[in-house]
């Protein structure tokens, strides 16, 4: 399989720090800010984080909103775990700005650097040694009575799942306009290759190498054992319609585990390839190296 080419980030002159809450993240962000300041790099933080009373304003040389991002910002540094990197990617939206993760969490499939490599990460950014690769993202639409009710960008996955009451759902699923199945399950996950090691993996779905042009459709606890995960081209539109049961069929849609929307009977979820891909500074290790080290495959 052809691997994705890497594109140089270039020498950075302005960086946005996007840290998670917590003492570890505050210390790491302050350290990154000091290193970047010494290198004469301008630093900003998201305005939404400045509004949080838990955030240490000491790292902020400026503030910026997502809709203010422009060519003057060269890099977004997400300080935390994979969830923080996903929040940073959602915050960046369609702006073509590379995102680099410094992992303070446990697994850390997405981050380019570990917590002990913070100085190395900043030095690489300042020296112009970073590269980014495109990562497939999904555009998620919710349709109700032929009207578009909501739309969101997703990097990892979108899933439909039962509400507070654990009931089996019927989810009519089509791929590229062709009927796939009336899935009877607790829910259904559609994931990108980047998200294949998240909820999809926990639900028994396949691990898909980054750069593969594919979506994975994985049932959650299917009530028919013949319903199995399916991998399909990302060029197809996937449609999931909530068809039942008629009583007590509350369902919830979630995108990247960070945005939710309550579904009603008859609602249709459409998943398509997003027009703008995520520019991710990738881990130096391959996904297979990470699996061998973190999941004990070695």
Give catalytic residue positions: 82
- Tokens coding 80: 């935390």
What is the distance between the terminal CA atoms of the chain, rounded to a whole angstrom?
Answer: 23
- Helix, strand, or coil (residue 1): coil
CA 159, CA 199: separation in Å to the nearest integer?
9
| List of residues 6+ apart from 53 with CB closer than 8 A | none
- Identify which of 239, 212, 216 has the alpha carbon closest to the alpha carbon of residue 229: 216
As given in the structure block, the two tokens for residue 268 are 């249709």
- Alpha-carbon distance of 93 to 142, in angstroms, equals 18
Cα separation, 96 vs 278, in Å, equals 8
């Amino acid at each position: 399989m052809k691997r994705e080419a890497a594109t140089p980030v270039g020498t950075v002159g302005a960086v946005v720090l996007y840290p998670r809450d917590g003492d570890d993240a505050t210390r790491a962000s302050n350290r990154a800010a000091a290193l970047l300041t010494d290198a004469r790099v301008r630093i900003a933080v998201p305005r939404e984080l400045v509004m949080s009373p838990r955030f240490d304003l000491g790292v902020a040389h400026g503030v910026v909103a997502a809709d203010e991002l422009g060519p003057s910002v060269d890099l977004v540094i997400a300080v935390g775990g994979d969830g923080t990197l996903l929040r940073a990617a959602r915050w960046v939206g369609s702006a073509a700005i590379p995102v680099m993760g410094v992992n303070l969490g446990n697994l850390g499939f997405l981050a380019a650097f570990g917590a002990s490599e913070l100085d190395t990460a900043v030095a690489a950014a300042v020296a112009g040694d970073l590269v980014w690769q495109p990562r497939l993202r999904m555009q998620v639409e919710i349709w109700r009575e032929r009207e578009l009710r909501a739309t969101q960008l997703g990097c990892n996955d979108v899933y439909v799942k039962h509400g507070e009451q654990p009931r089996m759902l019927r989810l009519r699923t089509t791929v590229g306009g062709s009927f796939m199945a009336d899935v009877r399950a607790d829910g259904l996950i559609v994931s990108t290759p980047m998200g294949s090691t998240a909820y999809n993996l926990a639900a028994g779905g396949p691990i898909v190498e980054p750069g593969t042009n594919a979506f994975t459709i994985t049932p959650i606890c299917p009530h028919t054992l013949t319903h199995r995960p399916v991998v399909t081209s990302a060029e197809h539109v996937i449609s999931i319609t909530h068809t039942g049961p008629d009583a007590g069929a509350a369902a919830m849609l979630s995108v990247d585990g960070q945005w939710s929307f309550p579904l009603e009977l008859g609602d249709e979820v459409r998943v398509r390839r997003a027009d703008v891909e995520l520019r991710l500074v990738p881990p130096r290790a391959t996904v297979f190296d990470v699996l061998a080290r973190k999941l004990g495959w070695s």
